[in-house]
Structure 1
């Protein structure tokens, strides 16, 4: 016996509406299982990561100076920290190829902090593009490969920055925990600022010469994270398989 399903025009319309709704629901849940947790975004556009889902990421900005980076690398080695992410300005990397080489050889991830450490929100888009290109050229000369992360030099960015970074293939990385180490408030306060960290947090620290107390505070920070059984990971490792969440940049 054969059966035939006959759909009226009205029934066909209802069927198509249900099918379309199911499609967009599937897309929504796919987005919810994306590769990172974005906090800032251009609407329906590129996003900036401020936290992930796996472990905790120590990140260090370096824009200038030649005294503080090496002691911090020494602490990380002494504390047996295998994963951290260093955001380097191209101008600093250009002047300190030996330290860049050590960061790479020690197994740490490198992200870009632009070239000249200027506020991207105060520059014309072409100037931002030129700054990124100039930093790219430096990392290429230094044979630093697979740079996929970009942090706005001063931490300030807008929709234009997000879109431009996306065209270059970079993920913009912000932070969820600010150590405020650059204000040099004392090692105990720096440790207290970081003590709020929990699974998924990206911690902002500095290895420029302006951050005079970071190296002293770092052992306590690391030991506290380990006591909490928080695994230290790179930003790239952290943001894999995170849940998506975004707020539009105004």
Structure 2
């Protein structure tokens, strides 16, 4: 009887080790608020940038805009009032095309423009021709509206797969994600947004926020976020400046 249990224990241990090894080979699952990605422990092609590895207290505030015209103005007001001259806005091309005055204000203020794609869909559900069409159509519109060609892209809902990454890379784009999600898209309350950002922010961080009308508390939380980060010694930079100044933290996708 004792021999049976010893043998069974050894066999169970071998099975456990095999399962762990298999999971490591397949990757680690990570879920954000809209999708699940698989991070592979080896280089499998173009990757998304989530943050950068740096000791400098630099941080990138990023804002996605896909619809509405009531929230972007107050957010720009706060950035101006607080003297924040560096931030990155990821613009949906249909929104940019229908709101040229707001886009002009963003550009004139010197903020960086990235693409948020054309249709606000999960691009991993498209075939390769459709993915390419969505990225290039957005590129054409944003280049015309801003008079600058974007080279950063954050896909709608943060959704992508390895095909999306590969096609974006072939079109000259770097895919940008985030390491700190403010959760402002959930409208959880101003103080919850502030507390979440200030507790999670770190050197080289990319912070996700939104300037679409559905996010009603971002402009209220932003002053406290800026003051809190500034008091901790952080300097605000664009995503491009963050990438240029340090090693990027990227994760490959299956």
How does the TM-score come out when normalised to structure 2? 0.80
User: Which residue does the alignment assign to 1:226?
Assistant: 230
Distance 1:43 1:158 in 2: 14
Following superposition, the deviation at residue 140 of structure 1 comes to 2.4
The 1:245/1:90 distance shift into structure 2, 3 A limit, reads closer
Following superposition, the deviation at residue 136 of structure 1 comes to 1.2
What is the correspondence of 1:1-250 to structure 2 with a 5 Å cutoff? 43-52=43-52, 53=54, 54=56, 55-195=58-198, 196-250=200-254
Query: Contact 1:40/1:49 (CA < 8 Å) preserved in 2?
Result: no
**Structure 2: runs of 5 or more not aligned:** 1-37
Following superposition, the deviation at residue 210 of structure 1 comes to 0.6
SS at match of 2:113: strand
Following superposition, the deviation at residue 87 of structure 1 comes to 0.2
The 1:192/1:131 distance shift into structure 2, 3 A limit, reads same
Deviation string for 1:146-201 (max 9, x for gaps)? 41101111101110011001110000000000000011000000001101201110
Distance 1:152 1:204 in 2: 13
Distance 2:48 2:244 in 1: 14
Paired residue total:
212
The Cα RMSD (Å) is 1.7
Following superposition, the deviation at residue 128 of structure 1 comes to 1.3
**Structure 1: runs of 5 or more not aligned:** 1-38
